Structure formats: structure tokens, C-alpha cells
């Protein structure tokens, strides 16, 4: 019963938020407490790797909509709880209107609904709800740059969902059901059926637009860097992962392998390239999200159970440190009077110490220094013996990330008498799990069986990558490179979707 309550109660709370400003804050607090309690209960109930399944409205899978609390949902719910707490603590100082809190409730309700969803069309509707809510939140402050970013986001996401819908139509035509596990059963019976590649391409490309895979994701950097701070944190930390969740569910049913490898590799490399030469902090974080989505997709492409566990692990870690980085970046930019690196460096004494510390912790985690969050998750991905190609992409991305984040080094000089931040609690909520990530994951997700040891080889590898990144920064860091912006224009993005579709179709032999 709890499964249906988890998303639906959030929607009810969202409507209640309209009663007024103070009510909306209370409602948000109540919503957080309830979710936290329910999540803990569900985590305890599924400690042994069990899943909970119910049919909504009492109907079986072939008639109604089935929701299930499985390993994926179990992995994400603590992340949702932590990120929500951090965002609420941060927003307390921002004086947001009831509309903000209402949209936040809707967003989280949709996130939970998606984590539980097992039905293709249900996922479509939830993704659209997510798109619309995040679209509103991105442009919440009504600045023209935000509005334009949102508009691009909306158009591209809508195109993606149209393709997804055609895929759903094909699948329904051949299987007569929309339930993913039933479809999986039918496909296992006839894995050679000719319609499967075509349907797969349509589904995967559609979802990839939402998930932010390059060629399909030109909206992402604009939207994530233009949004208000808390929203950037939520979008990058959580909402973008929802696309990955759907991709994961699809990849468990449909054979995808090579397609995802290609898309993931391109995304990871291009993302990190643009991140390395971004001029402002928020924009760099947004591009780095792009590259890490590529990382996750590569993990999905490996496809073994250990790799999936690694993907979940990395998704959680990334949610934590990217959330932290975005929150801190927002405050730092405001304190320094601008988010560009030169502005941040010039006014670094104006940035509160807690903010700098949060940025520092986040940076250490994102470059994968042991034993922080990034390392634990990355080691889980490395441990599943990827092919040399995937391995090479991993290395390039790690070095590139270290290179990109080396631009933050001037901020990290220790100094006395810096200003105090009033958002320390928000940072602490995210920083503590990042610092103690390995014990955190082991206790929270015992069913995932994560590879968590500090293997010497991996430690050396990660330190080596960071060192390589720093060296690169010494040599190349001063050079200003202008990468083509056209890649991220609306018209080019549509072409990108079409080309990515064709590439995927060729790789899957749908032609």
C-alpha cells in the first residue's frame, strides 16, 4: 500500500502548498519526514534483496498498472531523501514562493512514481510530468536565458517522447502488453524476432533525450546552468538520473549492448571536453554532468549484474557530489558577484569558508580520490572488467574531469577571516555521506553486494589520473579554447537526434 501512497501523497501535498507561504514550508517538512520514514521502512523490508510488487487498483499486470519496489528504487530512495533535505535547507534562506514548494512536491512525487514504475506507458506519462515540472522550475525566475533554455529542453524532450511513443506502439502491437517484465518474458521466448531492434531503437533514443545522452541532449548544459541553484542541484543530481533509470529498465528487457557503448562513449568524452573549457562554474558542472551520464550509460552497456550495481552506486555518488557542488557553486557565484572563474578567483575572499569547503569536498569526490564517494562508485564500475575501449573512455574521462576541476584550485587557498555561510547545514547533509560513502553504501544497500575494497591497483590508478589531470592543467590550463557552440543550438540538436537515431539503428541492425 505504501508504494501507491509514496507518489500520490506528494501530489496531495503539492496542492496543499497553495494555502500560503508558511503552510508550504510546513507541508514540505511533513512531506520530507513522511518520505524518509517510508523509505527507511521499505529499505528495511527489502534488506535481503526482496522486491515488493502491487497492482494499482487491485488489477493484475495484464490489465492495470503494476508498481514495484526493487533494487533500483531501493538504491535511489536514500539519495532522494538526502537531496531533498539539502535543497529544503538551502531554499529556507531563499524566500521562495508557495509555487516553488508545490512544484518541488510534484517533482518528487513524479520521481518516486518513476522509480516504482514497471509499465512503459506509465513511464511515458511520468517522464512528461517530470519534463513539465522541471521545465517550469528551470525558468522559475523568468530570466530570458532560462526561458530559452527551458523552451529548447521542452521541444527536444517532446520530440524524444514522440519517438518513445512510436516504440511503445510497436511493442504493444507485437506483445499485447505494456508491462516490462511481461514483455521481457515474451522477448526471451523469441529473442530473434525481427521487430525487436526497431522498437528498441525508438525506445532508447526517445529516453536518451531525457537522460541527456549526447547527440540528444543539447538542452542539458543550457538548462542546468541557467536554473536557480537548488533546481540545478535537483536536476543534475536526481531528475537527469530518472532518464537513466528508464534506460536501465529498458536495457534489462531489450538487448542493447553496442548502441549504448557508442552513445555513452561520445557523451562522456564530449561532455568532459566542453567542461574543461567552460568559462563559468555552473556551466562546467552542467557539462561534467553530461560526461558522467555518458559514464553511467557505458556502465549500462557492460550489462553484467556487477556493472548494474556499479551504475547504481555511481548514480547515487554523483547525485550527492553534484548536488553539493551545484549548491555551493550557487552561493559562491552570488558572493563573488559572478560565476565565471576569473570573477570567483578575484573575489575569493568574499566566498564563505563553508562554501569553499563544500566545493573542495565535492571536487575531491568528483575526481575520484579515495576513499570518497566518487572513488567507491568508480571502483565498482572498474571492477567489472570492461572492454579495453570502455576502459580507455573511463581513463580519458577521469583525467579530463581532474583537468577541468583544476580550474577551481585558486579558490582553495586557506585563509583566515572569511565570511560565514548560513547554509552550512545544507552542505553538511550531502558532504557527510560523501566523506563516509563506503560505510554508507554498505549499510544502506546490503543487497547490492558492492565491490568496496580499497584495492591498491585502483587507488594507484585514481591517484595517477588525478595527477595526470593536474599536470595537464599546468601545461594547458592557461590556453583559452573556443569550442563550437552550434552543437547546442535547437536546429542542430534536432539533426543530432536524427543522426543518433540512425547510428543506433545501424548498431542494432534494425536496418
Interface positions, 164-223, toward other proteins (CB under 8 A)? 165-166, 168-170, 172-178, 193-195, 197-198, 202
Gyration radius from the chain CA atoms = 21
- Contact between 99 and 14 under an 8 Å Cβ cutoff? The reply is no
Query: What's 167's DSSP letter?
Result: H
- CA 389 – CA 392 distance, rounded (Å): 5
Give a three-class secondary structure readout of 316-330: HHHHHHHHHHHHHHH
Q: Does residue 30 bind other proteins (CB under 8 A)?
A: no
Q: Does residue 502 bind other proteins (CB under 8 A)?
A: yes
Residues 72-91 that bind other proteins (CB under 8 A): none
Task: Give me the least distance between CB of 16 and other proteins, in Å please.
Answer: 8
**Of the candidate residues 74, 79, 86, 154, the single one contacting other proteins (CB under 8 A):** 154
In the complex with other proteins, the residue whose CB is nearer, 124 or 405, is 124
- The helix (run of H) or strand (run of E) holding residue 68 is strand 66-69
Task: Give me the least distance between CB of 26 and other proteins, in Å please.
Answer: 17
Q: Could you give the residue ranges of the DSSP H alpha helices within 19-96?
A: 21-45, 71-91
- Under 8 Å CB-to-CB from 191, ≥6 apart: which residues? 255
Residues 55-74 that bind other proteins (CB under 8 A): 55-59, 62-65
Residue with cell 532522494: 80
Among the listed ranges 50-58, 210-218, 295-303, 450-458, the one in contact with other proteins (CB under 8 A) is: 50-58
Q: Does residue 476 bind other proteins (CB under 8 A)?
A: no
Residues 334-393 that bind other proteins (CB under 8 A): 334, 338-340, 343
- CA 67 – CA 266 distance, rounded (Å): 34
Task: Give me the least distance between CB of 149 and other proteins, in Å please.
Answer: 8
- CA 505 – CA 511 distance, rounded (Å): 6
Alpha carbon 142 to its chain's center: 24
Task: Give me the least distance between CB of 313 and other proteins, in Å please.
Answer: 30
Binding-site residue total for other proteins (CB under 8 A)?
98
- The helix (run of H) or strand (run of E) holding residue 55 is strand 52-55
**Of the candidate residues 39, 225, 259, 379, the single one contacting other proteins (CB under 8 A):** 225
In the complex with other proteins, the residue whose CB is nearer, 40 or 56, is 56
**Of the candidate residues 9, 251, 267, 441, the single one contacting other proteins (CB under 8 A):** 9
Among the listed ranges 71-79, 154-162, 247-255, 376-384, the one in contact with other proteins (CB under 8 A) is: 154-162
Task: Decide the pairing of beta strands 66-69 and 52-55.
Answer: antiparallel
- Which cell is 361 given? 569536498
- CA 433 – CA 320 distance, rounded (Å): 8
Q: Does residue 41 bind other proteins (CB under 8 A)?
A: no
Task: Give me the least distance between CB of 305 and other proteins, in Å please.
Answer: 30
Task: Give me the least distance between CB of 5 and other proteins, in Å please.
Answer: 7
Nearest of 257, 264, 412 to residue 328 by alpha carbon: 412
- Which cell is 7 given? 507518489
Task: Give me the least distance between CB of 43 and other proteins, in Å please.
Answer: 21
**Of the candidate residues 18, 389, 412, 475, the single one contacting other proteins (CB under 8 A):** 18
Q: Does residue 162 bind other proteins (CB under 8 A)?
A: yes
In the complex with other proteins, the residue whose CB is nearer, 67 or 438, is 67
User: Across the strands, what pairs with 67?
Assistant: 54, 117
- Contact between 153 and 286 under an 8 Å Cβ cutoff? The reply is no
In the complex with other proteins, the residue whose CB is nearer, 179 or 441, is 179
Task: Give me the least distance between CB of 183 and other proteins, in Å please.
Answer: 12
Nearest of 424, 448, 409, 1 to residue 440 by alpha carbon: 448
In the complex with other proteins, the residue whose CB is nearer, 15 or 467, is 15
- Which cell is 97 given? 514562493
- Contact between 379 and 458 under an 8 Å Cβ cutoff? The reply is yes
- CA 375 – CA 373 distance, rounded (Å): 5
Task: Give me the least distance between CB of 165 and other proteins, in Å please.
Answer: 4
Residues 481-500 that bind other proteins (CB under 8 A): 485, 489-492, 494-495, 497-499
Q: Does residue 138 bind other proteins (CB under 8 A)?
A: no
**Of the candidate residues 40, 147, 346, 463, the single one contacting other proteins (CB under 8 A):** 147
Task: Give me the least distance between CB of 493 and other proteins, in Å please.
Answer: 9
Q: Does residue 124 bind other proteins (CB under 8 A)?
A: yes
- Contact between 238 and 83 under an 8 Å Cβ cutoff? The reply is yes
Q: Does residue 15 bind other proteins (CB under 8 A)?
A: yes
Q: Does residue 122 bind other proteins (CB under 8 A)?
A: yes
Burial (0-12, 13-18, 19+ Cβ within 10 Å), 281: buried
Q: Does residue 8 bind other proteins (CB under 8 A)?
A: yes
Task: Give me the least distance between CB of 142 and other proteins, in Å please.
Answer: 7
Amino acid at each position: 500500500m505504501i508504494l501507491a501512497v509514496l507518489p500520490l501523497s506528494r501530489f496531495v501535498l503539492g496542492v496543499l502548498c497553495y494555502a500560503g507561504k508558511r503552510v508550504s514550508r510546513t507541508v514540505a517538512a511533513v512531506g520530507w519526514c513522511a518520505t524518509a520514514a517510508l523509505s527507511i521502512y521499505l529499505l528495511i523490508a527489502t534488506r535481503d534483496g526482496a522486491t515488493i510488487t502491487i497492482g494499482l487498483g487491485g488489477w493484475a499486470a495484464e490489465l492495470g498498472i503494476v508498481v514495484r519496489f526493487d533494487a533500483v528504487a531501493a538504491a535511489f530512495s536514500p539519495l532522494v531523501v538526502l537531496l531533498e533535505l539539502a535543497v529544503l535547507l538551502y531554499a529556507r534562506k531563499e524566500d521562495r514562493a508557495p509555487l516553488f514548494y508545490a512544484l518541488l512536491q510534484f517533482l518528487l512525487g513524479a520521481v518516486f512514481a518513476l522509480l516504482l514504475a514497471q509499465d512503459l506507458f506509465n513511464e511515458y506519462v511520468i517522464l512528461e510530468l517530470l519534463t513539465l515540472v522541471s521545465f517550469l522550475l528551470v525558468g522559475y525566475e523568468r530570466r530570458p536565458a532560462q526561458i530559452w533554455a527551458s523552451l529548447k529542453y521542452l521541444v527536444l524532450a517532446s520530440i524524444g517522447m514522440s519517438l518513445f511513443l512510436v516504440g511503445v506502439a510497436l511493442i504493444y502491437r507485437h506483445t499485447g502488453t505494456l508491462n516490462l517484465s511481461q514483455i521481457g518474458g515474451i522477448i526471451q521466448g523469441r529473442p530473434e524476432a525481427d521487430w525487436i531492434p526497431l522498437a528498441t531503437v525508438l525506445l532508447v533514443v526517445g529516453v536518451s533525450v531525457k537522460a541527456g545522452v549526447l547527440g540528444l541532449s543539447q538542452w542539458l548544459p543550457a538548462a542546468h546552468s541557467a536554473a536557480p541553484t537548488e533546481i540545478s542541484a535537483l536536476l543534475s543530481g536526481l531528475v537527469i538520473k530518472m532518464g537513466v533509470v528508464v534506460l536501465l529498465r529498458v536495457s534489462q528487457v531489450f538487448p542493447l549492448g553496442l548502441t549504448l557503448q557508442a552513445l555513452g562513449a561520445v557523451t562522456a568524452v564530449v561532455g568532459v571536453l566542453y567542461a574543461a573549457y567552460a568559462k563559468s562554474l555552473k556551466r562546467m558542472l552542467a557539462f561534467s554532468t553530461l560526461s558522467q551520464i555518458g559514464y553511467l550509460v557505458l556502465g549500462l552497456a557492460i550489462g553484467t549484474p556487477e556493472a548494474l550495481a556499479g551504475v547504481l552506486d555511481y548514480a547515487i555518488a554523483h547525485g550527492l557530489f553534484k548536488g553539493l557542488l551545484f549548491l555551493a557553486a550557487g552561493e559562491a557565484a552570488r558572493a563573488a558577484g559572478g560565476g565565471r572563474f576569473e570573477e570567483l578567483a578575484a573575489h575569493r575572499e568574499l566566498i564563505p569558508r563553508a562554501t569553499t569547503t563544500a566545493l573542495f569536498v565535492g571536487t575531491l569526490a568528483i575526481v575520484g580520490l579515495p576513499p570518497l564517494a566518487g572513488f567507491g562508485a568508480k571502483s565498482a564500475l572498474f571492477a567489472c572488467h570492461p572492454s579495453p575501449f570502455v576502459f580507455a573512455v573511463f581513463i580519458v574521462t577521469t583525467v579530463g574531469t581532474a583537468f577541468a576541476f583544476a580550474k577551481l584550485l585558486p579558490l582553495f587557498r586557506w585563509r583566515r577571516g572569511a565570511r560565514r555561510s548560513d547554509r552550512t547545514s545544507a552542505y553538511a547533509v550531502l558532504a557527510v555521506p560523501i566523506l563516509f560513502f563506503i560505510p554508507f553504501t554498505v549499510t544502506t544497500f546490503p543487497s547490492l553486494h558492492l565491490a568496496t575494497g580499497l584495492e591498491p591497483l585502483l587507488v594507484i590508478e585514481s591517484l595517477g589520473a588525478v595527477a595526470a589531470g593536474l599536470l595537464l592543467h599546468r601545461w594547458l590550463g592557461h590556453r583559452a579554447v573556443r569550442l563550437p557552440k552550434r552543437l547546442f543550438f535547437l536546429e542542430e540538436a534536432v539533426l543530432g537526434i536524427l543522426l543518433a537515431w540512425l547510428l543506433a539503428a545501424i548498431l542494432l541492425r534494425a536496418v
